[in-house]
Amino acid sequence: MTEPAVVKKKRRPKPPADEAEGDGPVVDARSEAEPVRGRGVVPRKDAPLPKAPRTAALTVLRRWLENPEPILRLEVIRIFAPLAVLGFMSSRLAHVDEWLTKVGFQPAEIAGGDWRQPLYLSPLTSSEAQGLAVVMVLSGLCVAAGFKARWAAFVFALTLGYVALADRLAAFTVSKLSPAVMIALACSPVGARLSVDSFLAKRKNPKLALPTMSSGAGPRFFQLLLAVFYCSSGIAKAQGDWLSHKLVLWTHVHDSYQSAFSWAVANAFPAWLWTLLQWVTLIFELGAPVWFTIKKTRPVALAWAVAMHAMIGAMFWPVRWFSLLMITLVVGSFLKEEWLEGLLARFDRA
């Protein structure tokens, strides 16, 4: 019969000198966190809380907002958007008394308030209306010319916001969209190139280097605006008859905005082509955030948006100013960076 093996007991290592002196044990984080048979893992009592790593989504978003963009994106919108808005307002400004005073029809104030009338503005006097018209035209032209562009854009936005609220019966898409566009321009470094301000600055200091890039926040606003705008329009279409009726687009051509061109096109295009255009438009608008985000599909989306708005302006002539405004926004927001830089280089050489 064999004798049982004697298990030698491991000697415990001597504590360090500072522990022997009463300063407390020196704990190694790795040894303290190792599993102990029968007891699991011994947690550290003084363990610091781990730092939460920055998520990839926030990093990408921050980089997307901060990355510089060609300054010409903002300048294209700054030059042409006010002209399109003033073109839309021109028919109203020509009859400003009938538009904003008691000479024309003005809705009465709804007692007790109503969601259809969030803010009631009483009619102006004739002199006030004419003064407002002058300020609107001058501020809009100053924005387009780039003379005190940011202040002019802010004043222009105030006048546009006023007339949109004062005449809600005649407030269309341009009326509601243009104040937001002008406020965004007022908050952006517009007027730095191709403007009266840049010309005067260069004349004062010929060695002054004019900027070619700007913070991405301004252009990003317009890019997000267009993506949301198109997607919302697509959702509204999908909730209507665009999915159940294959000739909705063809019926629009025969509406009250019909022009000689739209009448000719309605009779020339075959029925299947109208259905195809209807589906392409719906797919484009619903997927606009995707098409404009992906670099490979962005040029196709840009080309389709420009062609679509050009056809809208030609077929529905009264809304041509809306088409010009949208073409300006989409070209300024999504035109290739290389093209914008090349265009700016040509202006510099001229």
User: For residue 65, what are its two tokens?
Assistant: 């907002």
User: CA–CA separation, 326 vs 305, rounded Å?
Assistant: 9
User: CA–CA separation, 25 vs 317, rounded Å?
Assistant: 86
- Letter for the amino acid at 117? Q
Q: What is the mean pLDDT of the chain?
A: 86
Determine the pLDDT at residue 124: 94
Share of the chain above pLDDT 70, in %: 84
Report the Cα 139 to chain-centroid distance in Å.
23
Higher-pLDDT residue of 50, 98? 98
User: For residue 246, what are its two tokens?
Assistant: 């294959």
pTM of the model: 0.81
Q: Where are the beta strands (DSSP E) in the chain?
A: 35-36, 40-41, 69-70, 213-214
Lowest mean per-residue pLDDT among 90-99, 112-121, 152-161: 112-121
Q: Where are the alpha helices (DSSP H) in the chain?
A: 17-20, 29-33, 56-66, 72-93, 96-100, 126-145, 149-166, 173-186, 196-204, 217-239, 248-252, 260-268, 271-286, 288-293, 298-315, 320-334, 337-349
User: For residue 161, what are its two tokens?
Assistant: 């916001």
Q: Is the pLDDT of residue 330 over 90?
A: yes
40 pairs with which residues across the strands? 36
Q: Is the pLDDT of residue 225 over 70?
A: yes
Lowest mean per-residue pLDDT among 75-79, 111-115, 173-177, 257-261: 111-115
Determine the pLDDT at residue 3: 52
Determine the pLDDT at residue 164: 92
Sequence length of the chain is 350
Determine the pLDDT at residue 29: 47
